[in-house]
Amino acid sequence: MRLATMRLPGGATTAVRVDGGTATELGFADVGALLRAGALDHAATAAGREHAFERADLAPVVPTPGKILCVGLNYRGHILEMGRELPTAPTVFTKYPEALIGPADQVLLPPESSQVDWEGELAVVVGSEVRRADRAAAERAIAGYAVLNDVTMRDWQYRTMQWLPGKSFEHTTPFGPVLVTPDEFTPGGDLVTAVDGEEVQRTRTDDLVFGPAELISYLSTILTLRPGDVIATGTPGGVGHARKPARYLAPGQVLTTTVEGIGTLTNTAVAEQVPAAAGT
């Protein structure tokens, strides 16, 4: 099953089930609300108003997750090619919902940063409440998978030892286009990131050091995971900051992020327009 959050005229949103070219409203404001209500099974057969999916204006598939937990250094091939040892525990940081944008929305390049980088990722969405989950419970807790690009302000990320400032600028992180349930998707296909059509990242999504179930088990040892929480599983090699010379997103460039079996995010980078301060 494929689910999305669609924007409606007037500013409201609705959760929809996507069947081919048809999006069917499911009676919930968004996919996160549907998951929190425990209505995933209901969504498979629910009837509602229908829309043409190709014309849908999509919001982030879960617009306001309670938690966005991100993982760094998690692709085996990329770590080994850099000559590093594989980690024994995940590197974890957070992101906030204000950073999220829809799968076709503009990525805002803040005037405070000159080093805006791409990080294509597979995202896991939690579907049930878990704490200290073993592997079996962690597998059952997966509601589905989506595509995310952890667009990062490198000059802010590396100002200190803490990465959060570079990861949470508002309106920078595309997320969607759909949530695909585990019966229709298993990690293993290609993750591809491109800038203006030039491929900059490619890897298989089963090359993770810590897979989705392992991450849910590990993270739920620290805190309770709840329906709608999001885990960004990490990015492979090919980021702009590691290139020589380094490359970063510029206004007008189109960033695409694809996970085989899920879909594509297509986002144009634009310079953020910041209102002048009062009195200037």
CA 242 to chain centre: 21
How many angstroms separate the CA atoms of 160 and 140, rounded? 37
Res 280 pLDDT > 70 = no
Percentage above 90 pLDDT, the chain: 92
Q: Quick one: pLDDT at residue 80?
A: 82
Helix (H, G, I), strand (E, B) or coil at 272: coil
Measured between alpha carbons, how far apart are the two ends of the chain, in Å?
Answer: 53
Q: Is the distance from CB of 170 to CB of 99 less than 8 angstroms?
A: yes
> What are 238-268's pLDDT values in tens digits?
999 989 999 999 999 999 999 999 999 999 9
- Range 7-29 average pLDDT: 97
Q: Is the distance from CB of 40 to CB of 142 less than 8 angstroms?
A: no
> What are 197-236's pLDDT values in tens digits?
999 999 999 999 999 999 999 999 999 999 999 999 999 9
Q: What value, to the nearest 5°, has the Cα angle with vertex 250 and ends 244 and 253?
A: 105
Res 68 pLDDT > 70 = yes
Look up the pTM and report it: 0.96
Mean of the per-residue pLDDT values for the chain?
95
Q: Quick one: pLDDT at residue 82?
A: 67
How many angstroms separate the CA atoms of 2 and 17, rounded? 6
Q: Quick one: pLDDT at residue 84?
A: 82
> What are 87-110's pLDDT values in tens digits?
999 999 999 999 999 999 999 999
- Range 155-165 average pLDDT: 93
Res 30 pLDDT > 80 = yes
Q: Is the distance from CB of 214 to CB of 22 less than 8 angstroms?
A: no
Res 278 pLDDT > 80 = no
Helix (H, G, I), strand (E, B) or coil at 142: strand
- Range 36-61 average pLDDT: 97
Q: How many CA atoms lie within 13 A of 215 on its CB side?
A: 27
Percentage above 70 pLDDT, the chain: 98
Let me know if 105 is exposed, middle or buried by CB neighbors in 10 A (0-12, 13-18, 19+): buried
Res 35 pLDDT > 60 = yes
> Which of residues 81 and 22 earns the better pLDDT score?
22
